[in-house]
Chain A
Amino acid sequence: MGVLTVNGGVKKRTVKEIKVNVDKCTGCRACELSCAAFHASPRYSSINPARARIRVLIYERTDLYVPVRATNYTPAECSGRQSYIIDKKEYSQCSFCGASCPSREHFKEPDSGLPLKCDMCEDEPPLSEPMCVQACTFGALTYEETLEEQGKEKEAKPEDLKIGLESLVNKYGPQKVTDAVTRMSLSRKG
């Protein structure tokens, strides 16, 4: 998300997006290389795709070429990681999650193990396009900026609320959740 602008009294913010066209990816991995080079210190001084905040998942035999970015859809470290056994096969909780979670093994600093996260190449002055997009000559990655109205709260869906509450209850127990809600409402009143 970017800069706030005021246009005719309506606050707007710039939303930056990198669109991925999987059909156009050829597996050249120039995006990985360029991302890693840009974020090296000093800039471009070292190359290491393992430090990239974008990764092309390549499965040649099944013809799968998917550029995946370390986005901010989920918290940097997922605290609820568990493993499940279904039909004698072990799955990690991440297998069920559709988000490109930066805590997944694709996006960890090789030295520190710390999570990497795409910053859309924030810089001063701003880049015309993030480096990975600049490096992609095939049009598999394209950059878009859109203006969105600011301040409109998303309408909470009752079923989402229920799922969220249930998960909190499962994790902390009904008493703690009730206590927390009571505390919050008291502080608001006060």
Chain B
Amino acid sequence: MRYGETGFNLEIDLSLGSIDRVETDPKLTELHLGGQGTADRILWDRVPAGVEPFSPENVLIFSSGLLVGTPVPGANRTVVNTFSSQTNLHAHSLLGGYFGAELKHAGYDKIVISGRSSELVYLWINNDKVEIRDASHLRGMGCQETAEQIKRDLKSEKIQVAAIGPAGENRVNMASIDHSHSSAARGVGSIMGDKRLKAIAIRGTKDLNIARPTELFEMCQNLRKSIAENPSVGDWMATDEDDSFHHNNFSWGNARVRRRDFWSKELEERWRNLKYKYMNRQTSCYNCSKVCHNVISFPGKPTFSYKCYGKDTYHMAAFQELDFSYEILGISQEYGLDSYSTPQVIAFALELYEAGILKDQDFPGMPVNVRERFFYLLEKIVRREGIGDILANGVSLAARQIGNGAEAYDHNTIKRFEQLPIKLGRLNPVYFLMLATGEKMAITQIEGSFPQDPLPTIEQRKEFVDGWVSVPNEKFKKYFMEWEKRDTISNEASCAICDWNEAMHYLDDATGICGFLSSFRGGQFGGRSAYHIHNMPPLISLSTGIKMDETLLWEVFQRNRTLVRALNVRRGMRRIDEKPPEDHWAIRDHDYEQKLLDDYYDFKGWNKDGIPTKETLDKLGLDYVSEDFLQKGILKDNEAASTEKEKEA
């Protein structure tokens, strides 16, 4: 019997209309855990380097994290992986809510979707009964509207639905997949649209078996209570009204202008009143004792939910106030547009217009008022009409299509993907590494285990490290105690810290644990995360019966992270692609940055071009990757030998 996971994937080929229930190999779970871990192995096996993201050969995978559906609180993430039409690289995306648990109770760990349907369809998974159904009546519908219609059609409110809106249908690169009060962004909605898959509806009523039930249940009951009481975890932005940090430090417009004195007590009071006037309630994801979703009903607009920085992006892009975000978010979410990247694309278009690169004829009938302009461009983008057809590709690709100097306005992307609009003075070496080499495409998906800034006094630092439960190794406490200035920290420490930050995110995305309880809260926000490298192994063992300890778990992270790198290397990603936005920091030192990158690659066991060496790959059990790389000439036969010689010299 399989524990913690069902042991079956659902394989759907939309070109053939075929549906198969396939038993999976438990050894792969031991090597990669579940979620993104095992999904990436499928991408390696099934999607060769030459496959275009917009093609029937690309595969879209919905994976329930390994611990999702077990009693482990906050383990509710569904991970969506594919290859992104925006970056042409691996796409990493997450959904909260109830979808993953329902999938497991239907009897599946993953839904692996290949091919492309000729007509718009949706998938109806009702335990063993799985159907591809006509979705022509859902065409053009919003995400939540689609979910409601499907529940009406199937006559049950217990069904969980993940859907794309018109943005996904029209293959807009900023399209998301929405479910409940959660969205999966970063390149997956447009692929779902390309496959003509409008939605997936699930109802599951099967048991999920637990290996060592009593011990696990007791541990989880305690965790649920401690998470509820722990002020260091969850999304502060859902509950804290002081948002001076983002407004005073992040850049407004197209990641251009910092307004350092924007925040005031008067504004905070005004915005608090606005929020509580229109907030219905705060909600949780499945089996979590935090309330990270603020559900807002703004008059005349669709109800929406925001979490984290998503509430600020639209009004900061438009130089407006919170009420503008409330006005536009409901519509944008119904369209299935990601609220991180879309406002930046609109602000970019308006900048090009002001600079004379885009002309009046590019915006026929555009209103004068900036708020109305955002709505105008939202419509153009979601329908790919006129200039919207180009903007729908995202800032980086659009800048190259527009030309005529537009490239200079593409100053806040990495590997063609829009980043948070953080513009700072001095370089933070750890952040340089995370931004340059991170393959989850957004810093929020990598950072969190180590504080962003040193504390001013030794006493404060000591107090912090004394209660630092998440720290995997005493050396991190030493790094933090000795750290005085943000931009001054050894390369050795920078590499190790970057590695730890990555580790926890990769483990969360395999187990399905929410980053707000784990990776994103390991040190940056108090150091008392609910989950860390010390308590993940027993939770995995008790749930699944897999033998696990800290050393083995760290190896799983290295294996999963290296496999994602290998997927991208196979698609052509190299050192030249690994750079933060040019103006991310005002003061730069090219030689220092390159040395840092050298040291990081060396630390990871990668060659000078960022390609994992044969030795590294083989050690992690990824010898099928090294064989492939040698065969294709991506790695040379004598690579390991020459690296050793360099070290000796």
Closest chain B residue to A31, Cβ basis: B287
* Count of A-B contacts judged by CB separation below 8 Å: 98
- In the complex, whether B244 has a CB less than 8 A from a CB of chain A is no
Among residues of A, the one whose C-beta sits closest to the C-beta of B209 is A46
- Cβ contacts under 8 Å, A121 to chain B: none
| Chain B interface, number of residues (Cβ within 8 angstroms) | 42
Please determine whether A27 and B289 come into contact, CB atoms closer than 8 angstroms. Answer: no
| A60 in the interface (beta carbon within 8 A) | yes
A40 surroundings in chain B (CB, below 8 A): 207, 213
Looking across the interface, which residue of chain A has its beta carbon closest to that of B180? A60
Most buried by B among A28, A59, A137: A28
Q: Please tell me if the beta carbons of B205 and A110 are within 8 angstroms of each other in the complex.
A: yes
User: Which residues of chain B from 218 to 232 have any CB-CB distance to chain A below 8 Å in the complex?
Assistant: 221, 224-225, 227-228
Q: Answer whether residue B643 sits at the interface, using C-beta atoms and an 8 A cutoff.
A: no
A154 contacts partner chain B, Cβ-Cβ < 8 Å = no
Instruction: Compute how far the CA of A37 lies from the CA of B220 in the bound complex, rounded to whole angstroms.
Output: 12
A61 and B71 within 8 A (CB): no
Which of A23, A27, A28, A46 meets B208, CB within 8 Å?
A46
B284 close to A (CB within 8 Å)? yes
Q: Which residues of B contact A138 (CB under 8 A)?
A: 228, 289, 291
CB distance from A36 to the nearest CB of B (A): 9
Interface presence of B210 (CB below 8 A): yes
Residue of B nearest to A26 (CB): B284
Q: Whose C-beta in chain A lies nearest to the C-beta of B151?
A: A59
A33 and B287 in contact, given A48-B105, A48-B207, A135-B224 (Cβ under 8 angstroms): yes
Residues of A within 8 A of B303 (CB): 60-61, 63
Choose from A27, A42, A44, A48 the contact partner of B206 (Cβ within 8 Å): A48
What interface size band does chain A fall in? 20 to 34
B601: Cβ under 8 A from any A Cβ: no
Residues of B contacting A34 in the complex (Cβ-Cβ under 8 angstroms): 71, 221
Q: Which residues of B contact A50 (CB under 8 A)?
A: 105, 204-206
Q: How far does the Cβ of B416 sit from chain A's closest Cβ, in whole Å?
A: 34
**B295: interface (CB < 8 Å):** yes
Compute how far the CA of A47 lies from the CA of B216 in the bound complex, rounded to whole angstroms: 12
From the candidates A28, A37, A48, A134, name the one contacting B213 in the complex (CB within 8 A): A37
Bitwise, A133-151 to B at CB < 8 A (1) or not (0) is 0110110000000000000
Q: Could you tell me if B286 and A28 are in contact, using CB atoms closer than 8 angstroms? A: yes
CA separation between A32 and B286, bound complex, in Å? 10
**Quick check: is A45 within 8 A (CB to CB) of the other chain?**
yes
Q: Decide if A30 touches B283 in the complex (CB within 8 Å).
A: no
- The reply to whether A44 and B73 contact each other, CB–CB distance below 8 Å, is no
* Complex CA distance for A137 and B224, rounded to whole angstroms: 7
| A110 and B206 form a contact (CB under 8 A) | yes
* Given A61-B144, A135-B224, A47 contacting B281 (CB threshold 8 A): no
* Chain B nearest CB, measured from A43 CB (Å): 7
Kindly identify which residue among A29, A51, A110 contacts B286, using a CB–CB cutoff of 8 Å.
Answer: A29
**Known interface pairs A48-B205, A137-B225. Does A65 touch B281 (Cβ–Cβ under 8 Å)?**
yes
B117 at the A interface (CB under 8 A): no
| Residue ID in chain A nearest B211 by CB atoms | A45
Which chain A residue lies CB-closest to B228? A137
A48 to B203, CA, bound (A): 12
Docked-complex contact A44 and B287, CB < 8 angstroms: no
Q: Which residues of A contact B98 (CB under 8 A)?
A: 29
Q: In the bound complex, do residue B144 and residue A28 qualify as a contact, i.e. CB atoms below 8 Å apart? A: no
Interface string of B273-285 (1 = CB under 8 A from A): 0000000111111
> At the interface, yes or no: B297 with Cβ under 8 Å from chain A?
yes
Residue of B nearest to A134 (CB): B221
Contact partner, B281, options A29, A59, A63, A135, Cβ 8 Å: A63
Cβ-closest chain B residue relative to A110: B205
- Closest Cβ of chain A to B72, distance in Å, is 10
How many angstroms between the C-alpha atoms of A58 and B181 in the bound complex?
12
Bound CA–CA A44/B295 (angstroms): 33
Q: Are the CB atoms of B213 and A44 closer together than 8 Å?
A: yes
**B residues near A57, Cβ cutoff 8 Å:** 157
Task: State A29–B68 Cα separation when bound (angstroms).
Answer: 13
B70 part of interface (Cβ distance < 8 Å): yes
Given A28-B284, A60-B180, A63-B281, A43-B289 contact (CB < 8 Å): no
A138–B291 alpha-carbon span in the complex (Å): 10
Q: Does B35 contact A (CB under 8 A)?
A: no
- Contacts A44-B214, A63-B303, A65-B281 given; indicate if A28 touches B288 (C-beta within 8 A): yes
Identify the closest chain B residue to A57 (Cβ). Answer: B157
B148 within 8 A of A: yes
Q: Which residue of A lies closest to B214 (CB)?
A: A44
User: Are A48 and B208 in touch, CB under 8 angstroms?
Assistant: yes
Q: Considering the chains assembled together, what is the distance between the CA atoms of A49 and B216 in angstroms?
A: 17
* B217 contacts partner chain A, Cβ-Cβ < 8 Å: yes
A23-B281, A50-B206 given; 6 more Cβ-contact pairs under 8 Å: A26-B281, A29-B286, A40-B207, A44-B213, A59-B157, A60-B303
Closest 10 CB pairs of A and B: A44-B213, A50-B205, A110-B205, A46-B207, A28-B284, A137-B228, A137-B289, A44-B217, A63-B280, A26-B284
28 contacts between A and B (CB under 8 A): A26-B281, A26-B282, A26-B284, A27-B283, A28-B286, A28-B289, A29-B98, A34-B221, A37-B71, A40-B213, A42-B213, A43-B213, A43-B214, A44-B217, A46-B208, A46-B210, A48-B206, A49-B105, A50-B206, A60-B144, A60-B180, A61-B148, A63-B297, A63-B303, A110-B205, A110-B206, A135-B224, A137-B228
